[in-house]
Structure 1
Amino acid sequence: MSDIITPELVTLDVPLGTDKQSVIRALAERVVAQGRATSAQELFDDAWAREQKDETGLPGGIGIPHARSASVTEPTLAFARLTPGVDFGAPDGPADIVFLIAAPSGADEAHLSVLSQLARSLMKNDFMSGLRAAQAPEDAV
């Protein structure tokens, strides 16, 4: 996954807002700031529309908002470790680990590939503990 996430796409313990809308918007802005999408608003709108269909919170303090968007120019994974966590709809409470998966429109295979790779990684205790212990964006990548 190293080509789709860089240290510049990682946010550690910086407040991004108190609700999932704010977090998704901040991560969309980060993707645009890194030149991987052309419109933060369009990426946010597409991710938010997806979130409205089915919440993306998973047990264990994880949120994975995701979207295919015409504004995305290359498959991207943005990451935030949140303090405090934000509710993404998981049954066990707020998420402190949030990934935004942003894929170009029509890139169904790339989108599903990133989602499945990430899901497999999130099931590994050492992966999750590494994200929660990361001292710098490079550690999280």
Structure 2
Amino acid sequence: MVEPVTHQENVRDNELSSVFSEDNIKQFLKEFLHSNGWETQIAWGKTPGIDINAIRGTERWIIEVKGLGTSNPMNVNYFLGVLAETLQRMDDPTAKYSIALPDVKQFRNLWSRLPLLAKKRTGITALFIDEQGTIDESE
């Protein structure tokens, strides 16, 4: 039997969706990158282009960001979409490429199911951002 969703669970989901909006994740990443000496160009809102283009000296780091969807199927689509966007942007052989996602179990599971060979060949890493803005990079 499926348990009904309580008001408290709905409120919690709405709070997570707000904290894990794409622009909030970009803000957390901006603060992290600036504190580590990176300069950033960020596409806020629905602005097209690279979500975060970070430069530090001769280093370049391209990060594509997705927020938290309102359903599990939506999150799967977001995950596949952010991977596809990253692959389409891979035109700089010296740049580092990452996807950035909310640190929730579903995104962690999707990343862990991506074959290691695919991660190694593309060099893409995942940045998981929690509610406090803590960033965990996973290869």
TM-score past 0.5 threshold: no
Task: Give the TM-score normalised by structure 2.
Answer: 0.29
Higher relative contact order (CA 8 A, sep 6+): 1
